[in-house]
Structures are given as structure tokens and as C-alpha cells.
Amino acid sequence: MNGMRDLIIAALAASLVGLAPASILAQASSKIPQASEKSIAAEKNPPGDIPDNQVFIEYRSPLGFNIKVPEGWARRETSDGVTFNDKYNTITLAVSQRAEAISVTNAKQQEVADLEKTGRAVRVTGVKSVKLPSGPAVVVSYSSNSEPNPVTDKAIREENDRYFFWQNGKLVTLTMSAPLGADNADQWDLMAKSFRWQ
């Protein structure tokens, strides 16, 4: 407050002798709180929830698939996939080769076993087969610890749905992650159903 008071006093003193530069007066008035400024509304959706009015756009991958993703999310492409993220939400698609079609049985034997071995405190809550517009797929639902934040070194508990899409020797793994308890079921369903092979 002393800095603002000194600035106002300097402006007034200068004005008494007719030497008040307009910049001093403008600077002094700009630091005085404006009573007419309105409060910013609180977020309707807490961190982790994808807003109900979120716009989705189609992402066309050079790796042979299309999917609708939230508009405006950060995107990072790699040689074998792509990642989209915003706040605490992450969508990852990875492409690999696989000779045989994926089923609930072999997903439990291989993919779930690998996930539990390499993931962070993974707890699988379900493995099921689903029919989607792109064809049959297998989805694994699980909770896990996130990677520690590089700044705060803090990790959070996440919920995840991992879809396995297979066609002609190619496997696309779609993983959607959010803080545990976030309400993203409809948005995740929209994205999974939007997946298409090119």
C-alpha cells in the first residue's frame, strides 16, 4: 500500500506546481481498485470433469485411425501414437502389431498381467467385450496412481478405461484417464464409439 500512497502523493504534489505528467496520474489511478469490476463466476465443472458442453473434433491419425477428441486439448504425437491432455485428463492412443484378435481371455492373460506389472498400484475392476460402431473391442477398467507431477512431485489416484481395437494384425490401444470420481462416463463413451479404422 505504501507504494500506491507514495505514487498518489507524488502525483498530487506535482499537480500543485503544474508539473504533473499525465503518465504519473494515469499510473496512480490504475492502481486504485475499481468498485465497478464484477466477480468472476466459479467453475461449474471441477478439475477432472470434462464439461458437458465440451466441443469434440475429429482427429485423423497418419497411423490409420480416426477418433473424436476434445477441442483445445494439448496434443503430442509420437512415432507410434498420440496423447491429448487437459488439466488432470489424459487420452492416449498407441499402435502396435498383434497377430491374433484380442479377446477377454487373452486380454486377461497378457494385457492385464502387463498392466499390473508395469503400472503404478494398478487395481483392475473389470474386463469385458463391447460392440462398437468400429467393431468388437475389449475394455479394461482400472484405477492407478498417476505419474508424479514434475513440479510438485505429487501423484493422484486415477480411474482409467483402456480399449483394445484390433484389425488385420494392427492393435490400437485407447487409454482414457481422469482423477478418481470424475464424471466423464458420457464423454468417454462418445470417444470410444467415435473410433474408426481408415
Say what the pTM is. Answer: 0.75
- Amino acid code (one letter) for 94: A
Output the average pLDDT for the chain.
83
CA dist 39 → 35, 45, 105 (Å): 11, 18, 55
Least reliable range by pLDDT among 20-24, 64-68, 132-136: 20-24
pLDDT of residue 47: 66
Residues 6+ apart with CB under 8 A from 84: 59, 69, 70, 73, 74, 75, 90, 91, 92
Please give the span between the terminal C-alpha atoms of the chain, in angstroms, as a whole number: 63
Cα–Cα distance between 84 and 47 in angstroms, integer? 16
Burial (CB count <10 Å: 0-12, 13-18, 19+), residue 180? middle
Cα–Cα distance between 181 and 173 in angstroms, integer? 23
**b/e sequence 19-53, b meaning 16+ C-beta within 10 Å:** ebeeebbeebeeeeeeeeeeeeeeeeeeebbbeee
pLDDT of residue 6: 52
pLDDT of residue 150: 82
- Report whether pLDDT(118) > 70: yes
Helix 22-30 to helix 2-16 angle, to the nearest 10 degrees? 150
Q: Which fold has domain 56-197?
A: Protein Transport Mog1p; Chain A (3.40.1000)
List pLDDT tens digits, range 150-159. 888 888 899 9
Domain locations along the chain: 1-37, 56-197
